[in-house]
Amino acid sequence: MPCLNVNGVEIELDEDGFMIDPDLWNEDVARAFAASEGINELNEDHWKVINYLREYFKQYHIAPMVRKLCKETGCSLKYIYDLFPSGPAKGACKLAGLPKPTGCV
């Protein structure tokens, strides 16, 4: 099983590179994911998206509708792709420590 080492803690990932145990998430984990996704630095907007996803997931145990994510963060879908080149599901959700979305998505 692949792992991500953050500050000496081994974080287990699934084959798609998503966290197995979302409780191990912290901001440094997001930064480590960012590096692996080719994002140089996490700016204010990155954090806005990541924090919104985390809050939503904490409450509903699922990622929000992409349209809602855009509306609530004020980021257009195109801008989200600029921020997270792998997109809202495979990029932003991964950095926020959410599990990989499944189904016809």
| Contact footprint for other proteins (CB under 8 A) | 15-16, 59-68, 89-90, 99, 101-105
**For other proteins, the closer CB: 8 or 60:** 60
- Of 8, 78, 33, 12, give the one whose Cα is nearest residue 50: 33
Q: What's 76's DSSP letter?
A: -
* CB of 11 vs other proteins, minimal distance in Å: 18
Residue 104 annotated as catalytic: yes
**For other proteins, the closer CB: 9 or 62:** 62
Choosing from 70, 75, 93, 104, which is the catalytic residue?
A: 104
Block residue for tokens 């990622």? 63
**For other proteins, the closer CB: 26 or 86:** 86
At residue 45, the 3 state secondary structure works out as: helix
The answer to whether the CB of 77 falls within 8 A of the CB of 66 is: yes
Q: Which residues are designated catalytic?
A: 104
